[in-house]
Chains A and B, each alone.
Chain A
């Protein structure tokens, strides 16, 4: 039973870590000389990586970019709040009840990161052939799966009645 609690907690924490890395690090799209993302762009010049602003223009819509930023930040916030809510519910929940509110927070985090990753997939780098999706993008989708599983676990988990 302790293993169960530890596993649930570890799953949640792993989700939080993946979300934080995906949001903070600038590596959603990479080419040989560019590592770019939702906050800024790293350009490799003469062997040095330079930190530059993201380009503006019709191929880089500003409003969608800010939507991706906002929803990935919200996903992190909901997941972190979810940890505290889960710990609080561990102590205060009545017997026989389910961890619904923790599940809701994780589900919201899952929803937000799905929105962020979907908008990014659909609106950015659509025609660029040389380049590949960086580790932040992949981590964002993995975090989506993990938070979804985590929220299902919270919806099914119960406190014993005896």
Chain B
């Protein structure tokens, strides 16, 4: 492929706008695209135009393999070259920013014979405090509260689903006595429950529809090390899975509909009371 002799356009990239805190450092990046190989005579130049002024001054120049930083102007001793010209990077580092550094920085790069191009500018804004973007706090508060609400609802329905499926059941009572019917499973020796410790029982509280009762009792005892014959009971876990009789609501549907008030809304309204 024959490369045409005339130089083609070089495209320079910098940021569009940079925000920085007062007193901090900032790296202004500048890079370019060119169809040619990176030449040894590649040059980078940075110029600065303060906000509100129409003149720009030159603050940085890289040529012939050497970087020349500002030593007389507003950035003396504050500017440093951190780029890599061989990789087409002409970035500079500004240290210890002040409000007077607000302005526009323009980067111009030349890659001979590719010299036709448009310089690119980046605007620097120095803040005392990073401003809160409009609506960020609002949105996050609303989102967090609604998310919490959804989470609570999901957990509630999950618990109800698990209880209905008899994975486990929830009702905590302190050492009550319960009637047991049906099969019982025992493992190992069953010493009497330690009366000094309240036994925590999980008993069925779910509404379900049938009458069978199943009791599973697991007792864990520790086989003693030697002195006492039967092991000491550390914990008794009783799981009682109960299915209760299916029952309709007392009085069924006819309870309140019998009065002479017709209509769906009236029926609904008659269900309410304060007492």
Q: Interface of A with B (CB < 8 Å)?
A: 1-2, 4-6, 8, 56, 62-63, 66-67, 69-71, 73-74, 77, 90-91, 94-95, 156-162
Question: How long is the Cα–Cα vector from A157 to B269 in the complex, in angstroms?
Answer: 12
> Are the CB atoms of B256 and A162 closer together than 8 Å?
yes
Residue among B132, B138, B261, B270 making CB contact with A69, cutoff 8 Å? B138
**Does B255 reach chain A (CB closer than 8 Å)?**
yes
Q: Please, how many angstroms separate the alpha-carbon atoms of A71 and B141 in the complex?
A: 8
B137–A70 touching, CB < 8 Å:
yes
Q: At the interface, is chain A mostly helix, strand, loop or mixed?
A: helix
Sample (9) of A-B pairs whose CB atoms are under 8 Å apart: A63-B137, A73-B142, A74-B142, A159-B271, A159-B273, A160-B271, A160-B273, A161-B250, A162-B256
- A63 B256 Cβ-Cβ under 8 A: no
Residues of B within 8 A of A67 (CB): 137-138, 141
**How distant is B21 from chain A, measured CB to nearest CB, in Å?**
17
Taking the complex as formed, is B266 at the interface, i.e. its CB lies under 8 A from any CB of chain A? yes
Are the C-beta atoms of A156 and B274 separated by less than 8 Å? yes
Set of chain B residues within 8 Å of A63, measured between Cβ atoms: 132, 137
Question: Count of B residues near A, CB < 8 Å?
Answer: 28
Q: Binary interface profile of B, 128-172, with partner A (CB < 8 Å = 1, else 0)?
A: 000110111111011001100000000000000000000000000
Please count the residue pairs between chain A and chain B whose beta carbons lie under 8 angstroms apart in the complex: 76
B136: A residues at CB distance < 8 A: 66
With beta carbons under 8 angstroms apart, the residue of B141, B249, B256 that contacts A74 is: B141
Contacts of B65 in A (CB 8 A): none
Residues of A close to B3: CB separation below 8 A: none
A158-B274, A160-B273 are known contacts. Are A5 and B265 too (CB-CB below 8 A)? yes
CA of A140 to CA of B146, assembled, Å? 21
Nearest Cβ distance between residue A1 and chain B, in whole angstroms?
Answer: 4
* Known pairs A94-B249, A95-B249; A73 contacts B138 (CB<8 A): yes
Contacts of B271 in A (CB 8 A): 90, 95, 159-160
Q: B226: CB under 8 A from chain A?
A: no
The answer to whether B256 touches A160 (Cβ under 8 A) is: yes
Bound together, the chains give a CA A56 to CA B134 distance in angstroms of: 11
**Set of chain A residues within 8 Å of B256, measured between Cβ atoms:** 160, 162
**With the chains together, A66 CA to B273 CA distance in Å?**
41
Closest A-B pairs by Cβ, 3 of them: A70-B141, A66-B137, A5-B269
Q: By the criterion CB–CB under 8 Å, are A1 and B272 in contact?
A: yes
B251 CB-CB contact with A under 8 Å:
yes
18 other contacts beyond A69-B135, A77-B142, A91-B268, with CB at 8 A cut-off?
A1-B272, A4-B272, A5-B272, A62-B137, A66-B135, A66-B141, A70-B142, A71-B141, A73-B138, A74-B145, A74-B146, A77-B146, A95-B271, A157-B273, A157-B274, A158-B273, A159-B271, A160-B273
Cross-chain contact A158 with B138 (CB below 8 angstroms): no
Q: Across the interface, which residues of A come within 8 angstroms of B255, CB to CB? A: 162
